[in-house]
Amino acid sequence: MNNIRLDNFLRGVLEEDINTGDLTTESIVLPQAQAVGRFIVKEEGVIAGLDVMQRVFELLDRDVSLVPFVCEGQYVSAMTTIAEIRGPARALLTGERTALNLLQRLSGIATQTKRYVKAVEGYKAAIVDTRKTTPGLRMLEKYAVKVGGGVNHRFGLYDAVMIKDNHIAVAGGIIPAVHQVRCSLGHTVKIEVEADNLEQTKEAIAAEADIILLDNMDIETLNKGVGLIGGKAIVEASGGITLETVAAIAQTGVDVISVGALTHSVKALDISLEMRVG
Amino acid sequence: MNNIRLDNFLRGVLEEDINTGDLTTESIVLPQAQAVGRFIVKEEGVIAGLDVMQRVFELLDRDVSLVPFVCEGQYVSAMTTIAEIRGPARALLTGERTALNLLQRLSGIATQTKRYVKAVEGYKAAIVDTRKTTPGLRMLEKYAVKVGGGVNHRFGLYDAVMIKDNHIAVAGGIIPAVHQVRCSLGHTVKIEVEADNLEQTKEAIAAEADIILLDNMDIETLNKGVGLIGGKAIVEASGGITLETVAAIAQTGVDVISVGALTHSVKALDISLEMRVG
Amino acid sequence: MNNIRLDNFLRGVLEEDINTGDLTTESIVLPQAQAVGRFIVKEEGVIAGLDVMQRVFELLDRDVSLVPFVCEGQYVSAMTTIAEIRGPARALLTGERTALNLLQRLSGIATQTKRYVKAVEGYKAAIVDTRKTTPGLRMLEKYAVKVGGGVNHRFGLYDAVMIKDNHIAVAGGIIPAVHQVRCSLGHTVKIEVEADNLEQTKEAIAAEADIILLDNMDIETLNKGVGLIGGKAIVEASGGITLETVAAIAQTGVDVISVGALTHSVKALDISLEMRVG
Amino acid sequence: MNNIRLDNFLRGVLEEDINTGDLTTESIVLPQAQAVGRFIVKEEGVIAGLDVMQRVFELLDRDVSLVPFVCEGQYVSAMTTIAEIRGPARALLTGERTALNLLQRLSGIATQTKRYVKAVEGYKAAIVDTRKTTPGLRMLEKYAVKVGGGVNHRFGLYDAVMIKDNHIAVAGGIIPAVHQVRCSLGHTVKIEVEADNLEQTKEAIAAEADIILLDNMDIETLNKGVGLIGGKAIVEASGGITLETVAAIAQTGVDVISVGALTHSVKALDISLEMRVG
Amino acid sequence: MNNIRLDNFLRGVLEEDINTGDLTTESIVLPQAQAVGRFIVKEEGVIAGLDVMQRVFELLDRDVSLVPFVCEGQYVSAMTTIAEIRGPARALLTGERTALNLLQRLSGIATQTKRYVKAVEGYKAAIVDTRKTTPGLRMLEKYAVKVGGGVNHRFGLYDAVMIKDNHIAVAGGIIPAVHQVRCSLGHTVKIEVEADNLEQTKEAIAAEADIILLDNMDIETLNKGVGLIGGKAIVEASGGITLETVAAIAQTGVDVISVGALTHSVKALDISLEMRVG
Amino acid sequence: MNNIRLDNFLRGVLEEDINTGDLTTESIVLPQAQAVGRFIVKEEGVIAGLDVMQRVFELLDRDVSLVPFVCEGQYVSAMTTIAEIRGPARALLTGERTALNLLQRLSGIATQTKRYVKAVEGYKAAIVDTRKTTPGLRMLEKYAVKVGGGVNHRFGLYDAVMIKDNHIAVAGGIIPAVHQVRCSLGHTVKIEVEADNLEQTKEAIAAEADIILLDNMDIETLNKGVGLIGGKAIVEASGGITLETVAAIAQTGVDVISVGALTHSVKALDISLEMRVG
C-alpha cells in the first residue's frame, strides 16, 4: 500500500463529506470536548481496514488515538468490540461515517473473499480478484482481498497483458497477438490469453502464453483444458463463479480462480461506533 | 450533477486503470483501427449511467460516439441491447472496464432503489438514501438513487443538520441541541433530530425540529411516533430496513424511509460490451 | 470550517506568492535566524482570522508559534496589539503578506457585518450574507460573516433552492416551479422563492415556499409583504441594502436581511506586523 | 495572462459554487432549454474581465456564446448593456453568479485604478499595484489594474527583490543587504530598497539600488528624497495614498506610486444579467 | 502512453514556464498575429516526441497545427527539417522552449538507445532501460527508449519484483525471499533476483526466479552465469555498461542488458525552431 | 526554494515510482524492521540535493533520520561517504531510487557548473543557466546551478523580458519592441534584447535595454560588441558555449555567460546507497 496515495485519497473522501464544514458538530460541540468510542461488529466476518480507518481520524485531528482489539484479517464473531478510539469529540463525530464506510466495505470484501478461500480449501487453486473494482478504490479493495486470504490479479491495464477476444480479432489470431505483444513489451511482463474453448486453449499453448484464462467453460471442458495445458502455463478459470460452484472448479486442477463478485457486489459488514463524551 | 466534477472524477478513475498505458491494446491495436460495440444487459433492471459511460469514452477519445437505445432510468429485461458505441478501437478497449464498472454499479443501485420504491407504492413514503455511499462516489450514487425513483437525503455534513445521540449527550438534551444549532446556522438549513424512543420524539417535537428520524423502532412504536408528531415535522424512519419490512413501515404513515442498503451493499447489474472490429 | 480544505487553500495561496522562492529573504536571512513580531490593528474593528493566519505560518514552518492577545470576534480599538508571533525569521518574513492579506480581509468583513448587526439591534431580523463572495474564498468569507455576528445564507447552488425570475419563467409560474423542485428534491432541502411584487408574494405563499425573498421592495410594499405572509414562511429582504436603510427594513418585521456588500465590497481592516530580529 | 492557469482557477471556482449540482436549475430547467441574457452595468465604470466571464460559461457548456458590445477597458456610463449571451439556459443560470462575481470585482478594480490614473494625469508618475491582492486572485487582479491604466509591481516574492526594515536589520544595514542580494541573485533581477527617511535614502543610493521606495514620507521629505536620488534610481512612493493625496505626491516627481487600496479594498462595480428564455 | 496523464503533465510543465504570463510575447505580439515555424535538427539522431510536442502547442491554442516531415523514430541527418508548425504567433512563441526541451530530451534518449541497440546487432540481447529516469518523466523517457529500439524494464516498484541484496539480507537468503514474494503476490507478477556472484546465481536458479540479474560481473563470470542458468530463467546483465563494453556482454548470450545511462545521463539532441511571422 | 512546492513535487515523484505499492519490499520486509545506509560517491564532484533527498525519505516515513557528512556544495573526491541514513527498512528501500535519482542529477548539474565557473576564474563573467531545464524540475535544477557556483537567469517567461528575433520581427525592430514592452510592463522588470550582430547591438543600446545578449558571435565580434556597449547595459554571451571555449569568451569582458548544457545535457554523478539491516 502506498501511504502517500492513501492520504491523498482519504483527504478527498473527507472533503466529499465535509465540504465547507460539519454543520451539526461545529454548532454543538466545543473544540476542546473529548470523547471515547468503541467499534462494534454486528455480524461475524473478517476485519479489514483498521489502519485506513485510523488514518481517517488522524487526518482530521492528530490527537485522535485508536487502539485495535483484534488483528487486521481476524475473523470475529458478532458483537465483538474491535477497537477503541479516543480524542477530540469533533473529529470523532465528523469522521465517523467516512471511517465506517471504508471499514465496512473493506471488511465486507475480506469476509466474502475468506468464504471463497475456505470453499476451495484442500485444492491448490488460489482465489483472485479482477478489475471489477469500485472506480477510485482499487488499491484499497485489492488490499482487502489479500486480507481475506485472496490473491491479486493485475492492478490495471499497465502491469500485465490480458489478450481478449477483441485483441485476438484485431491481431488475426492468438499466435500473432502474443507475438506482437512479446515484440513490443519487456521481459518483466506476463502475458495472459483468454480462451473461450479448447481450440483457443491449444493456440494459447502454442503461443507460449504465461497464463491461460479458461473463460466461462463448464467443468468438463475445464478438465480437458487443464489436461491440454499440462503445466505449460498457469491456468486461470473465470466466469460467473459463485460460492456454490467454486469448489467444483477448483477440483479441475486450475491454478487460480478469478471472482468478480469479490469486489463488484460487496455487502458491507455491519459495524457501528458507539461513542460517549469523554 | 456537476459536469466539471464528473470529468475530474472520471479522469482520476481512468488514470487508476491505465497508469502509464494499456500494455495489451497499445501493443496489438493500431491507433487508426475502428470498432463497434453493443452494451447488453444480462439481467433485468433499471439502467443508470449512460451519460457517465459516454463521458468515459469521450475523455479517452473525442471521436467515440455512443447511441443509447433505452432511456436513462428505463426498466429493461434481460438480454436487452441498451446502447451502441463506435469509434477508435483503442479507446473502446481501454475504456471498457472503467465504463462498465460505473454503469453496472449505478444500474445496480437504481435497480435496487426501484424495488424499494415499488414495495411502498400506494403509500406516501419516499425511499431515500443515506451517507452510507462508497467513498468518492457519493454524487454518482445519489444520482443513481434518483434515477431509480428514490429521493436524496442530505449530501454530506454540510447541507443539513442531523442531531444524533452523541450530539444530544454533549448538548445536554434535544432542546438545547436544537437551540444551539438554530442560533448558529442560517434560515436555509433544515434540522433533523434522531429519536430512539417516544420520549425523545416528544422532545424533538417540542424543539420544533424540521424532521424527526424515528430510528430502529418497531412498527407499533413507529405508529405511536407518527401519531405524536401529527404533521408538526417531517417523519423519517430508518434502521435495518429490508425489502421485506419496508411496506409495513410505509403503512405507519411516515413521510420518508431511509435505506442504507441502497448504496452500502450494491449488487452490480450484469452488463457486457460485445465488440467487433469496425 | 473544514481544516483539510483550509490547508489546501492556504498551500495554493502561499504558492501564488512564493512560486520558486522568496528572493529577498532567502538571500539575506539565514535559515536559523529567529524573529518576533507583533500584529497591530491600526483602526478599530472586529478581528477575524487569527487561526487562519496562524495556519499560514505553520505551513511554512512548524516552529512558528502565535499567541493571540484578543479573542476571535472581539471588537478592538485602534493601535491594539492583537497577537505576538515567534519563530524562524524566514517563515515570518515570507508569510507576512499572505497572512495579513487574509486577516485584514476577514476582519474587514467581520467589522462591516458587525455594523449591520448593530444597526438592526432590537429587531428580530438577522443579517445574512449572499453568494456575492470572492471566488475561491467563500468558506472563509462566510466564516467571517459569522464572526461578525451575521448568519450564513446558502453556501452555493447545491445546499438550498432559490427560485428566481428566470426559473419561474421557464417553469411557467411560481407554483409549478416549486412543485417541480419538490418532486425532484429531498425532504432536507429548503425552498426559497424570490418575489418582486405582492402578486408573486401571494403565489409563493400559495406554493408553500419555505422562505420568501422580497426583492428590491420599498418599505411600504415590504410591510404589506410581511403582512401577507403572516408567518407562513420565513421572510427575507434584499436588494441594495445599506447601513442607512437597514434599520427601516428591519422594522418591517422581516426575518432576515441579506446584504451583498458584506462580501462583494470589502474594506480591509488596516493591520500591520512589526517584527524584530529575535 | 496564462490561460491554462485561468481555466484551472475557474474550474475550482465553479466547483466551489456548484459542488454536487445546481439544485434549482437542474430541477426546473430541461437540458435542451435555451436562453438569452444581457449584461447591464448599473453604474459608470471601466469594464474588465469580459474574456474571463466568457470562459466561465464555456467551461460549463461549449455551446454558450457571448458577444461583447464594449471593449475591455472601456469606460461606460450607467445602464450600458455591455454584452449579450446566448446558449443553454442551464449553463447561463448556473454560471451567472460566478461570472458576475468576477466581472464586478475586476471592473471595480479597473475603475478605481482609472480614477487614480486620472488624478495624476500630466505627471510622469505611474500608478502601480502591490501584493495586497485577494489570496488566489493575484493574476486576475493585477490584470484588472492594467486594464484600468495602471502598471504592475512585482507579482510575488519570486520575481523582484524588495528589501524592507527587517531584512535591513538582519543584514546590518542597507549596503550589506543589497550586497548580499547582488551576490546571490542573477542579472535579471531588480533590487528595490524601502527607505523610511532621508538617511536610508542616501544609503540606498550608495548601495546602487535599482528602485528606492520612499515609504510613508510627507510631501516635503518626498521632495528632498527625489532630489537626493536625482535619477540614479527609479523612485517609488507608497503608504496610505488616497485619491485626495495622490496628485500632490505625483507632483514631487516620483516615478511610480504604489496604491494598496487598488486591490485590498475593492468596491465591486454593479452589473447584472437580465435573462429571458430563448 | 496514457494521454490523460500526458495532458496533465504538460499543463504542469507549461505552468512552470508561464506562471502568470509570458511578459515578452503578451506585450509585443497581438492575439491575432499568425506565424509559421520549422523545426530543424542540428545534428544526426533519432526523432522522438513529435506527438508530445504537438500536444504542448495544442494545449496553448487549439488553432496550432503541426505537420511532421519525418516519422517518429526515424534516424535523420544533421540539418533536416523535421516538422512545420502554423498558428497563432503567441502560442508558438510561448510554447517554443517547453516543446523543444521535451523533443530534444526524448530524441536524445532515443538516439542513445539506438546506438546501444546497433552495438548489439546480431546478438539476441535486448537493450532495456532502468528506473534511473528523471523524476516525473518516467512514462515519457521509457517511451523514448522504445522509440529508439530499446525495451522497457519494469516501470516502478509496483509492476514487477526485483529482489536485491538488502531484501535478501532481511529475508535470510534468496530462496526464502523468493518464497515470501510468491506467497504474497499473484500469478501475474514476475520475480527477478539480483545475483552478484555465481553462488547467488545458483540460489536464484534453485528458487525458480523468472529473471536473474547478473550484476556487475566480468565477462568470464557472466559466461559462467549464463551457462549455469541454461535457459531456466531470463538472464539480465547490468552494471556500468557502456557503448564500448555492451557488445562483449551481449556475446555472453544474456537475454537483456539494462543500461542506466540511457536515461540518467542524457545528451539533448540539438533541435531549433525557426519562426517567421505568418 | 519553496518547500511547499518541493513537498508537492516529491509526493508526485514518489507516486510515479510506487503507484499502488512496492511489491518487493512490502512482501519481504516487516514494517518494524530497521536499517542503516551510507551514501557513497563513486566519482569526484560537487554534492547538491542533500536536503531534497532527506525530504524524500521523510515523506515516506517520519522516523527516517539522515546525517550528512559533507556540506551542500562541497567538492568531494571519489569514494567519499557523504551521508548516513537510519530508519524503517521499508522507507529506505522504497525511497532509495527516487532519492538517488534526484541527488545524482542535482550533483551532476552542480559539478558541471563548477567546472565552468572554474574555467572563467579571474574574469568577471558569471556562469548562468538558461530555460533549457528538464520540464518539471526547473526550481531544483536552477538551485543546483547556484550550489555549483553559478547564477540564475530568469526562471521563466514571467519574471523578465527576453526579446528575440521573432519578437523583433513582429514589432518592426528592436526600438519599437523595447518601447512596447516598457509601456506595458512595470518598473521591476528587466528587459533583455538578443542581438545577433553589431547592428542589432547598436539598436539595443539605443533602445536602452537593461541587458544585451550577444548571441552566437565569434570572439572578435564579441569584443566589438562589448566595446560598443561600454557599460551602458549588462552584456550576456551565449550560444554553443563549451568548457573549451568559455574562457576565451570570458576574456572579452562580458558580464555573464549563459550555458544551456548546464541543464539540458546532464551527466548524473555516480552515487550509491549501501544499506544493511539495522
CB contact under 8 A, A153 and E188: yes
Q: What is the pLDDT of residue D259?
A: 98
E215 has catalytic annotation: yes
Torsion of CA C117, C120, C122, C127, to 10 degrees: -50
In total, chain C counts a number of residues equal to 278
Grid cell listed for E215: 550484476
Q: Quick check: helix, strand or coil at residue E158? A: coil
CB contact under 8 A, D190 and F192: no
Q: Which residues of F touch C15 (CB under 8 A)?
A: 2, 4-5
Q: If you write DSSP's letter for every residue of C155-198 in order, what string do you get?
A: SSTTSSEEE-HHHHHHHTSHHHHHHHHHHHS-TTB-EEEEESSH
Q: What is the rounded distance in angstroms from the CA atom of residue F69 to the CA atom of residue F81?
A: 7
The residue from F132, F146, F182, F202 that is catalytic is F132
Q: Does A2 touch chain B (CB under 8 A)?
A: no
Query: Which residue in E164, E232, E171, E242 sits closest to E202, CA to CA?
Result: E232
Q: Which helix (H) or strand (E) holds A21?
A: none
In total, chain D counts a number of residues equal to 278
Q: Which residues of A touch C142 (CB under 8 A)?
A: 20
Q: What is the rounded distance in angstroms from the CA atom of residue E256 to the CA atom of residue E127?
A: 6
Residue A30's DSSP bridge partners are none
- Pairing, β A126-128 against β F126-128: unpaired
Q: Does C188 touch chain A (CB under 8 A)?
A: no
For B256, which of C154, C158, C187 is closest by C-beta distance?
A: C187
Range from A165-169, A224-228, F155-159 carrying the lowest mean pLDDT:
A165-169
Is the pLDDT at E93 greater than 90? The verdict is: yes
Is the pLDDT at E278 greater than 90? The verdict is: no
Measured CA distances, B122 to B126, B253, B255 (Å) = 11, 11, 13
Is the pLDDT at F50 greater than 70? The verdict is: yes
Distance from CA of E189 to the nearest CA of A (A): 7
Q: What is the pLDDT of residue A125?
A: 97
Q: Which residues of D touch C165 (CB under 8 A)?
A: 275
Is the pLDDT at F169 greater than 90? The verdict is: no
CB-based contacts of F255, cutoff 8 Å, min separation 6: D187, F124, F125, F126, F234, F235, F236
- Can you tell me the mean pLDDT for F172-190? 94
The number of beta carbons lying within 10 Å of the beta carbon of residue B248 is: 14
Q: What is the rounded distance in angstroms from the CA atom of residue F120 to the CA atom of residue A167?
A: 61
Query: Which residue in F234, F258, F235 sits closest to F246, CA to CA?
Result: F258
Distance from CA of B186 to the nearest CA of C (A): 5
Q: What is the rounded distance in angstroms from the CA atom of residue F140 to the CA atom of residue F102?
A: 9
Torsion of CA F58, F62, F68, F73, to 10 degrees: 30
User: What residues of chain D score a pLDDT lower than 70?
Assistant: 278
Contact, E225 vs E249, CB < 8 A? no
Interface test with A, best of E113, E130, E188 (most A CBs within 10 A): E188
Q: E-contacting residues of D 6-35, CB under 8 Å? A: 8
Q: What is the rounded distance in angstroms from the CA atom of residue E16 to the CA atom of residue E10?
A: 10
Q: What is the pLDDT of residue D278?
A: 65
Structural domains in chain E?
A: 3-117+266-277 (3.90.1170.20), 119-264 (3.20.20.70)
Interface test with F, best of C20, C30, C58, C93 (most F CBs within 10 A): C20
Q: Which residues of E touch D3 (CB under 8 A)?
A: 60
Query: What is the distance of C-alpha A190 from the center of its chain?
Result: 21
Model confidence pLDDT, tens digit, residues A28-47: 999 999 999 999 999 999 99
Query: Which residue in E149, E137, E168, E159 sits closest to E52, CA to CA?
Result: E137
CB-based contacts of B62, cutoff 8 Å, min separation 6: none
The number of beta carbons lying within 10 Å of the beta carbon of residue A242 is: 11
Contact, C46 vs C111, CB < 8 A? yes
* Long-range contact set of residues B173-178: C-beta below 8 Å, sequence gap at least 24: B173/B203, B174/B200, B174/B203, B174/B204, B174/B206, B174/B207, B174/B209, B175/B203, B175/B206, B175/B207, B177/A28, B177/B207, B178/B204, B178/B207, B178/B208, B178/B209
E strands present in B26-165: 34-41, 45-46, 65-68, 75-76, 80-88, 126-128, 161-163
Q: What is the rounded distance in angstroms from the CA atom of residue D19 to the CA atom of residue B154?
A: 13
Q: Quick check: helix, strand or coil at residue C229? A: helix
Q: Which residues of F touch A142 (CB under 8 A)?
A: 20
CB contact under 8 A, A5 and F18: yes
CB contact under 8 A, D19 and B5: yes
CB contact under 8 A, E29 and F170: yes
Q: Does C188 touch chain F (CB under 8 A)?
A: no
Q: Does B4 touch chain D (CB under 8 A)?
A: yes
Per-residue pLDDT band at F172 (split at 50, 70, 90): confident
B132 has catalytic annotation: yes
Q: What is the pLDDT of residue F277?
A: 74
- The structure's pTM equals 0.96
Q: Does B152 touch chain C (CB under 8 A)?
A: yes
Q: For chain B, give the mean pLDDT.
A: 96
CB contact under 8 A, B1 and D20: yes
Model confidence pLDDT, tens digit, residues E129-151: 999 999 999 999 999 999 999 99
Q: For chain D, give the mean pLDDT.
A: 96
Model confidence pLDDT, tens digit, residues C107-139: 999 999 999 999 999 999 999 999 999 999 999
Is the pLDDT at A171 greater than 90? The verdict is: no
Model confidence pLDDT, tens digit, residues B131-142: 999 999 999 999
- Can you tell me the mean pLDDT for A187-197? 97
Q: What is the pLDDT of residue E101?
A: 98
Q: What is the pLDDT of residue E172?
A: 87
Per-residue pLDDT band at A61 (split at 50, 70, 90): very high
Q: What is the rounded distance in angstroms from the CA atom of residue A74 to the CA atom of residue A235?
A: 30
CB contact under 8 A, D177 and C22: no
The residue from F58, F192, F203, F215 that is catalytic is F215
- Can you tell me the mean pLDDT for A139-168? 97
Contact, E157 vs F24, CB < 8 A? yes
**What is the interface size between E and F, counted as CB pairs within 8 Å?**
201
In total, chain F counts a number of residues equal to 278
Per-residue pLDDT band at E120 (split at 50, 70, 90): very high
Q: A-contacting residues of C 197-236, CB under 8 Å? A: none
Q: What is the rounded distance in angstroms from the CA atom of residue C112 to the CA atom of residue C99?
A: 20
Q: What is the pLDDT of residue E14?
A: 98
The residue from C22, C141, C192, C194 that is catalytic is C194
Q: What is the pLDDT of residue B278?
A: 65
Model confidence pLDDT, tens digit, residues E184-215: 999 999 999 999 999 999 999 999 999 999 99
State the chains in contact with E (3 or more Cβ–Cβ pairs under 8 Å). A, B, D, F
Is the pLDDT at F278 greater than 80? The verdict is: no
Q: Which residues of C touch D190 (CB under 8 A)?
A: none
Grid cell listed for A209: 502464453
B97 has catalytic annotation: yes
Q: What percent of chain B has pLDDT over 90?
A: 96
CA end-to-end span of chain E: 33
- C211 half-sphere exposure, CB direction, 13 A CA radius: 27
CB-based contacts of B172, cutoff 8 Å, min separation 6: none
CB contact under 8 A, E276 and F12: no
Helices (H), chain F: 3-18, 23-28, 50-60, 89-119, 138-147, 165-171, 174-184, 198-206, 219-229, 246-251, 261-264
- Can you tell me the mean pLDDT for A119-143? 98
Grid cell listed for B167: 450530539
The residue from F5, F11, F42, F97 that is catalytic is F97
Q: What is the rounded distance in angstroms from the CA atom of residue C123 to the CA atom of residue C117?
A: 10
Contact, D257 vs D130, CB < 8 A? no
Q: What is the rounded distance in angstroms from the CA atom of residue D6 to the CA atom of residue A22?
A: 30
Q: Which residues of C touch A60 (CB under 8 A)?
A: 3-4
Model confidence pLDDT, tens digit, residues C17-32: 999 999 999 999 999 9
Query: Which residue in D162, D127, D119, D159 sits closest to D263, CA to CA?
Result: D127
The residue from E97, E121, E165, E267 that is catalytic is E97
For B14, which of E4, E138, E155 is closest by C-beta distance?
A: E4
Q: Which residues of C touch D180 (CB under 8 A)?
A: 27-28
Model confidence pLDDT, tens digit, residues D146-175: 999 999 999 999 999 999 988 998 888 999
Q: What is the pLDDT of residue E201?
A: 98
Q: Does E106 touch chain A (CB under 8 A)?
A: no
Q: What is the pLDDT of residue A32?
A: 93
For D23, which of C97, C185, C266 is closest by C-beta distance?
A: C185
Q: What is the pLDDT of residue F276?
A: 84
Cβ burial, residue C213 (10 Å; 0-12/13-18/19+): buried
Q: What is the rounded distance in angstroms from the CA atom of residue B46 to the CA atom of residue B103?
A: 11
- Can you tell me the mean pLDDT for C201-210? 98
CB contact under 8 A, B4 and D21: no
Q: What is the pLDDT of residue F78?
A: 97
Q: Quick check: helix, strand or coil at residue D268? A: coil
Contact, B131 vs A22, CB < 8 A? no
Is the pLDDT at F206 greater than 90? The verdict is: yes
Distance from CA of E141 to the nearest CA of A (A): 15
Residue with cell 510622469: D124
Interface test with F, best of D117, D142, D187 (most F CBs within 10 A): D187
Model confidence pLDDT, tens digit, residues B81-108: 999 999 999 999 999 999 999 999 999 9
A142 has catalytic annotation: no
Backbone angles phi, psi at C221, to 5 degrees: -65, -40
Query: Which residue in D27, D25, D28, D42 sits closest to D92, CA to CA?
Result: D25
Region of E87 (left: φ > 0; alpha: ψ -120 to 50; beta: rest) is left
Order of strands, sheet of E234-238, starting from the edge strand that comes earlier in the sequence: E126-128, E256-258, E234-238, E211-215, E191-195, E161-163
